[in-house]
């Protein structure tokens, strides 16, 4: 068992441990829970679950997910931990939830620079009956739709999903960690499995609340390119279309696998992140000594 030395604010080793820990955790959780993501995407697709592939080929799109998982999670936690730890000595404790919200929002924008192209390729593979490589999908998107409307299609809607998600998730996570530590641990740092439990609660809660935003994001990414070029595929128009056609049921399509995916993913992700981050930090500290 690695003895976990807890990182301190303003420590450059914290940044490296957050970066490497985030990358490892992102890759691990996305590979393990990928089938649930496929089912969620197919439930949200406009053509319906069965026409999108049903239960067949639930690992389609894993390639781009694997490529994008580590860098986006690494960028996220490098940004989030930097903002959080540098702000903690300067900001009153009562205002720290605002720091968590701000840090998570900035971190999501950074992560989406990697996430969105991988998400476009992944979701088109998940819902297509024709087997194309992720590279071919992105090249075709660039050729026929352009850089922003093709490769980065859905960037705005992804940000509109991820920022509210993180604004709920990370203050909830930090509250759960603080509450558990003060009430049950006598202010002793949490073990990784305890951080994992807090992560699953925060992730599941955020996933359930923000499912309609995820549905809209998925519809935009999978929309016909002609409609995108015409300017008829916007966040507000897509939201209205889903609501008028399927009502609340349509806006919460895929809510169960999404919530389950992120609830389980929160446990695996934050637990593995905490363990890996602290293990890396311990190694870096040993080298520094």
Distances (CA, A) of 275 to 3, 17, 226: 10, 10, 47
Spatial CB neighbours of 17, under 8 Å, sequence gap ≥ 6: 7, 276, 277, 278, 280, 281, 284
Q: What is the tens place of the pLDDT at every residue in 97-114?
A: 999 999 999 999 999 988
User: Is 141 within the bounds of a domain?
Assistant: yes
- Residue from 78, 154, 166, 171 nearest 115 by CA: 154
User: Is 5 within the bounds of a domain?
Assistant: no
- Residue from 154, 115, 116, 118 nearest 137 by CA: 118
Q: Are 134 and 121 a contacting pair, CB within 8 Å?
A: yes
Q: Which band of pLDDT confidence, cut at 50, 70 and 90, is reported for residue 203?
A: very high
User: Is 70 within the bounds of a domain?
Assistant: yes
Give me the pLDDT at residue 130, please. 59
Q: How many structural domains is the chain composed of?
A: 1
Distances (CA, A) of 29 to 40, 66, 167, 211, 269: 16, 10, 21, 19, 6
User: Is 6 within the bounds of a domain?
Assistant: no
The domain that contains 272 carries what CATH number? 1.50.40.10
User: Is 278 within the bounds of a domain?
Assistant: yes
Its domain, for residue 104, covers 12-288
Q: Which band of pLDDT confidence, cut at 50, 70 and 90, is reported for residue 243?
A: very high
Helical spans, DSSP H, in 33-132 = 34-44, 62-87, 96-127
User: Is 4 within the bounds of a domain?
Assistant: no
Q: Is it the case that residue 29 has pLDDT exceeding 80? A: yes
pTM, whole model, 2 decimals? 0.74
Q: Which band of pLDDT confidence, cut at 50, 70 and 90, is reported for residue 138?
A: confident
Q: Are 41 and 57 a contacting pair, CB within 8 Å?
A: no
Helix axes 155-184, 235-251, angle to 10 degrees: 50
Distance, CA of 78 to CA of 152 (rounded, Å): 23
Q: Are 74 and 20 a contacting pair, CB within 8 Å?
A: yes
User: Is 117 within the bounds of a domain?
Assistant: yes
User: Is 154 within the bounds of a domain?
Assistant: yes
| Rg (alpha carbons) of the chain, rounded to whole number | 20
């Amino acid at each position: 068992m690695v003895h976990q030395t807890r990182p301190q604010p303003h420590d450059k080793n914290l940044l490296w441990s957050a970066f490497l820990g985030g990358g490892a955790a992102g890759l691990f959780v996305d590979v393990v829970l990928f089938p649930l993501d496929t089912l969620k995407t197919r439930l949200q697709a406009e053509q319906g679950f069965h026409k999108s592939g049903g239960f067949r080929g639930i690992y389609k799109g894993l390639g781009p997910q694997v490529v994008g998982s580590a860098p986006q999670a690494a960028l996220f936690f490098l940004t989030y931990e930097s903002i959080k730890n540098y702000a903690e000595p300067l900001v009153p404790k009562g205002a720290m939830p605002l720091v968590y919200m701000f840090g998570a929002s900035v971190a999501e924008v950074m992560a989406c620079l990697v996430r969105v192209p991988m998400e476009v390729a992944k979701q088109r593979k998940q819902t297509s009956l024709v087997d194309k490589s992720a590279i071919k999908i992105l090249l075709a998107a660039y050729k026929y739709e352009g850089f922003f409307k093709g490769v980065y299609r859905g960037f705005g809607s992804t940000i509109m999903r991820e920022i509210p998600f993180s604004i709920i998730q990370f203050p909830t996570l930090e509250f759960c960690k603080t509450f558990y530590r003060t009430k049950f641990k006598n202010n002793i740092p949490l073990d990784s499995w305890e951080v994992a439990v807090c992560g699953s609660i925060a992730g599941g809660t955020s996933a359930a609340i923000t499912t309609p935003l995820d549905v809209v994001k998925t519809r935009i990414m999978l929309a016909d390119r002609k409609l995108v070029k015409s300017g008829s595929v916007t966040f507000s128009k897509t939201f209205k279309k889903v609501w008028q056609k399927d009502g609340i049921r349509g806006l919460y399509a895929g809510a169960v696998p999404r919530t389950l995916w992120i609830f389980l993913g929160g446990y695996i992700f934050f637990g593995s992140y905490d363990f890996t981050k602290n293990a890396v930090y311990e190694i870096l500290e040993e080298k520094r000594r």
